[in-house]
Amino acid sequence: MIKKWEVKNKSNVDKRKLQEKIQKDFGLSNLLSQILVNRGIETEEEIRVFLNPTRADFHDPFLMPDMDKAVERILQAIQQKEKIIIYGDYDVDGITSITVLKQFLEERGLEVSSYIPNRLEEGYGLNKKAVEWIASQGFDLMITVDCGISGIEEVEYASSLGIETVITDHHEPLEILPNAVAVVDPKIQTSKYPFRGLAGVGVVFKTIQAIGKKLQLPEKEYLKYLDIVCIGTISDIVPLVDENRVITKLGLKLVERTQNIGLKELIEASGYRKIDSTMVSFGIAPRINACGRMGQEQEALQLFLTQDRKEAKQITEKLNEYNKQRQTIEKEILEEAIQKVEQEPKSPCIVLGDEKWHHGVIGIVSSKITDLYFKPSILVCFEENIGKGSGRSIPGFDLHEALGKCSNYLEKYGGHEMAVGVTLKEENFIPFKKVFEEVVLESHIENLMPVIAIEEQIDLKEITIGMVKELNLLEPFGEANKMPIFMFHNLKIDSIRSLSEGKHLKLTLKDDHLLVGAIGFNMGHLAEEYLIGDRVDVAGILEINSFNGMDSIQINIKDMRKTY
């Protein structure tokens, strides 16, 4: 697939002067200084907060919509020892949200229960059967975390059964908000909160921060949860800028010395030695998410709540097994989905359905299908005439907005621009698919193409190991703060071969007399397209390869093309 390379650094006199000033004032390399300029982090205060945020850099939680009402109602519950239940989601964001709020409230002397809908039987968000069960147990107050913003009917139903609701969420609201005691969501249109990008657990953190301030608690009473808040934030793929960066930068320091027994065991089981965003995204998140995907969501929550090391070890072993099962099922569905795509007429989008598919993993498969074909995709699994599906989009196409134009055929939908969930009747699948394809066609996404955002073109001879190591100051990496990709021009292939039965690519590249190693994951096929001596341009990440006690610079290739 042809990709467009876009170089961010369009050098000019003003930018060069600014880069030189940052380099001098902060004692940084010219490479890191240039990256900060490229990313619009230019003032002294912006650079300080980005590189070394402190607890003083959190926004005022009471700027959040309805935060004062939420705090007042929760404090009333604490004072009157009311029966409270937290209703959360089954993914990492939801599990960490429940963990933080439950433990914080229990430390205030409350007995707090939780409810997580089973992904396979109930799906995402509030549902009336769950509300009925909550009412039957005599709960006075329901607090939603990482869900609830679209539960208009369910909140009304809860109210009719005598349950009051406080909603904390971070998803996009519909035109009408639920009639709850409080609706705390930074994405509400009238919100004056300075940052819209918090994860669900981030909104929960702001809620306990607000309660802590109201009760005049020491800061440590809510800051101590930043390790768990950090895990949920990185895992939910929200933009790691502004307050999310403060949460994750400070939170990763706490993760290194976490007191949470379950998290300790999970880190050990992940096999990662370095505590960073990569460890969270690829070592922690898949194992927690696997519980919800396999219908075992309670196991993940119990892992974070347990005070027993032996139990934590046992649950961690189960999580590893669920993750292996998930990987096997995912591979099977992906192969079937690719076959269906290849058999169907060409379309600007991909909408597929099957009765055999596992609802818990189709979101991951949808993501892989979208990456493979660079088209919005929605995958649906059917059971008893009801289809439940997940969708993923491409940059430049708002999937949530597109679903709004097809809502007549949907029972329920939610999510955001890049990822959605849908529920529809099986009889409406074909009509929905047809209308959705028309909506996508009208958007002219054929003009979109995959883009590799390149920080700048650099000369390998000017890069030192120290400069590459300094790039770690940009951690944590994630959405809106990606690992920097650089362009290297006119390198000569000195050696080239495939690894792992043709899956990966291994090269040695030459820049004049300088040799540097390079690796291209899932790019093994290029070994047949390029020859020793070919001149190439490379887009890739700079990293350190440690071997036999020696450090060397290596390029992690993201794309490669012949030099013209």
pLDDT, tens only, 313-325: 999 999 999 999 9
pLDDT for 119: 86
Average pLDDT over residues 466-474: 96
pLDDT for 8: 81
d(CA 289, CA 116): 13
β-pair type (182-184, 350-354): unpaired
pLDDT band at 360 (very low <50, low <70, confident <90, very high): confident
pLDDT for 416: 79
d(CA 313, CA 317): 6
Burial of residue 83 (CB within 10 Å: 0-12, 13-18, 19+) is middle
pLDDT for 120: 83
pLDDT of 16 strictly over 70: yes
Average pLDDT over residues 340-354: 94
Q: Which residues 6+ apart lie within 8 Å of 279 measured at CB?
A: 267, 270, 272
pLDDT for 9: 65
Residue 536 is inside which H or E element, if any?
strand 535-547
Average pLDDT over residues 226-237: 96
Residue 50 is inside which H or E element, if any?
helix 44-51
d(CA 398, CA 57): 31
Question: How many residues are there in the chain?
Answer: 564
In the chain, pLDDT over 90 holds for what percent of residues? 90
pLDDT for 12: 74
Average pLDDT over residues 471-494: 95
Whether the link from the prior residue into 476 is cis, omega within 30° of 0, is: yes
DSSP state of 525: G
Summarize pLDDT for 145-156 with one digit per residue, the tens.
999 999 999 999
d(CA 449, CA 375): 10
Answer positive or negative: Cα dihedral of 141, 144, 150, 153: negative
pLDDT for 377: 97
Strand partners, 488: 538
d(CA 201, CA 288): 15
pLDDT for 124: 81
pLDDT for 11: 62
pLDDT of 379 strictly over 70: yes
CA-to-CA separations, 159 to 63, 78, 168, 335, in angstroms, rounded: 27, 20, 17, 46
Summarize pLDDT for 484-494 with one digit per residue, the tens.
999 999 999 99
Burial call 109-128: b when 16+ CB within 10 Å, e when fewer: ebebebbbbebbebbbbbbe
Average pLDDT over residues 522-538: 95
Select the more confidently predicted residue: 189 or 8: 189
Summarize pLDDT for 193-207 with one digit per residue, the tens.
999 999 999 999 999
Residue 425 near residue 466, CB atoms below 8 Å: no
Alpha-helical regions (H) of 161-241: 200-214, 220-223, 226-235
Summarize pLDDT for 512-528 with one digit per residue, the tens.
889 999 999 999 999 99
pTM: 0.90
Beta-strand ranges (E) seen in 384-529 are 386-392, 412-415, 419-425, 451-454, 456-457, 486-499, 504-511, 514-520
pLDDT band at 419 (very low <50, low <70, confident <90, very high): confident
Residue 264 near residue 315, CB atoms below 8 Å: no
Select the more confidently predicted residue: 13 or 311: 311
pLDDT of 182 strictly over 80: yes
pLDDT for 240: 96
Average model confidence (pLDDT) across the chain: 95
Give me the half-sphere count of Cα atoms (radius 13 Å) on the Cβ side of residue 22.
27
pLDDT for 123: 79
In the chain, pLDDT over 70 holds for what percent of residues? 99
List the single range of 11-20, 107-116, 173-182, 313-322 with lowest mean pLDDT. 11-20
Residue 72 near residue 80, CB atoms below 8 Å: no
Please give the domain boundaries of the chain with CATH numbers for all domains: 4-52+452-562 (2.40.50.460), 57-227 (3.90.1640.30), 344-447 (3.10.310.30)
pLDDT of 268 strictly over 90: yes
d(CA 361, CA 334): 10
Answer positive or negative: Cα dihedral of 208, 286, 307, 297: positive
The angle, 0 to 180 degrees and rounded to 10, between the axes of the packed helices 261-270 and 226-235 is: 40
Nearest in space to 423 (alpha carbons), one of 460, 387, 371: 387
Q: Which residues 6+ apart lie within 8 Å of 376 measured at CB?
A: 349, 350, 370, 391, 392, 393, 394, 397, 399, 402, 440, 445
pLDDT band at 481 (very low <50, low <70, confident <90, very high): very high
